[in-house]
C-alpha cells in the first residue's frame, strides 16, 4: 500500500510539473505576443549573460518571459515593464544600456580612446620630425674619414 501511495505521489508530482511548464509558456494574442517578443529581445538573461531572454532556454529566462507576459496582460506599458525589471534586477538586465549620467563613461569611452590615440600618434610624429642633426667635432670627422678609407 505504501509503495502504491509513493508511486501515485510520484506520478502526480511529475504530471503537475509538466502541466505547470506547459501553462507557464502560454502565449498571448498575436499583437500582445509580438510586443512581448520585442521586449524579450531587449532583455538580457541573467544566467546566459549576453543572450536575450527570447533566445535563452534557462529557467530564469522562462520566468522572465512569464513576468513580461503577466505585465502585458495587466495592461502595463513597455516602459513600465522595463522599469519594473530594472528595479528588480538592475540595469544589467537591459541588453542596450540607458544613456544617463552614471553610464556616460560607458558611452563616451570609445570616443575618448580614439581621441587619446590620435593625440599620442600626433605627438610621436612630431618627436620624429624634430630630430636634431649633431655636428661632429674636427677629431670625430678625421676619425670617420680614417675609418671610411679602410
For residue range 72-129, list pLDDT tens digits in order: 999 999 999 999 999 998 888 888 877 777 777 877 889 999 999 999 998 887 777 6
SS3 135: coil
Number of domains, the chain? 2
Q: Look up the domain containing 93 and give its range.
A: 2-98
SS3 99: coil
pLDDT of residue 66: 93
The mean per-residue pLDDT over the stretch 6-33 comes to 62
Q: Tell me, what CATH number does 34's domain have?
A: 1.10.8.640
Pair (80, 110) in one structural domain:
no
Pair (22, 61) in one structural domain:
yes
Q: Which conformational region is residue 90 in: left (phi greater than 0), alpha (psi within -120 to 50 degrees), or beta? A: left
> Beta-carbon neighbour count of residue 77 at 10 Å?
11
pLDDT of residue 12: 63
Q: Which helix (H) or strand (E) holds 3?
A: helix 2-24
- Quick one: pLDDT band at residue 15, thresholds 50, 70, 90? low
- Give CA–CA dist 36/84, Å, rounded: 15
pLDDT of residue 25: 60
Pair (113, 144) in one structural domain:
yes
Lowest mean pLDDT among 25-29, 67-71, 125-129: 25-29
Pair (20, 74) in one structural domain:
yes
For residue range 41-60, list pLDDT tens digits in order: 999 888 887 888 988 889 99
Residue showing cell 533566445: 55
Pair (88, 108) in one structural domain:
no
- Return the higher-pLDDT residue of 40 and 99: 40
pLDDT of residue 11: 62
Amino acid at each position: 500500500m505504501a509503495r502504491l501511495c509513493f508511486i501515485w505521489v510520484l506520478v502526480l508530482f511529475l504530471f503537475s510539473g509538466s502541466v505547470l511548464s506547459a501553462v507557464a509558456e502560454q502565449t498571448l494574442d498575436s499583437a500582445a505576443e509580438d510586443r512581448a517578443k520585442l521586449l524579450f529581445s531587449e532583455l538580457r538573461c541573467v544566467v546566459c549573460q549576453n543572450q536575450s531572454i527570447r533566445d535563452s532556454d534557462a529557467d530564469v529566462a522562462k520566468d522572465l518571459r512569464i513576468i513580461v507576459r503577466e505585465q502585458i496582460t495587466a495592461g502595463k506599458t513597455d516602459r513600465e515593464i522595463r522599469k519594473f525589471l530594472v528595479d528588480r534586477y538592475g540595469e544589467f538586465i537591459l541588453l542596450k544600456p540607458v544613456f544617463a549620467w552614471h553610464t556616460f563613461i560607458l558611452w563616451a569611452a570609445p570616443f575618448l580612446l580614439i581621441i587619446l590615440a590620435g593625440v599620442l600618434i600626433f605627438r610621436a610624429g612630431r618627436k620624429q620630425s624634430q630630430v636634431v642633426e649633431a655636428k661632429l667635432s674636427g677629431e670625430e670627422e678625421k676619425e670617420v674619414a680614417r675609418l671610411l678609407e679602410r
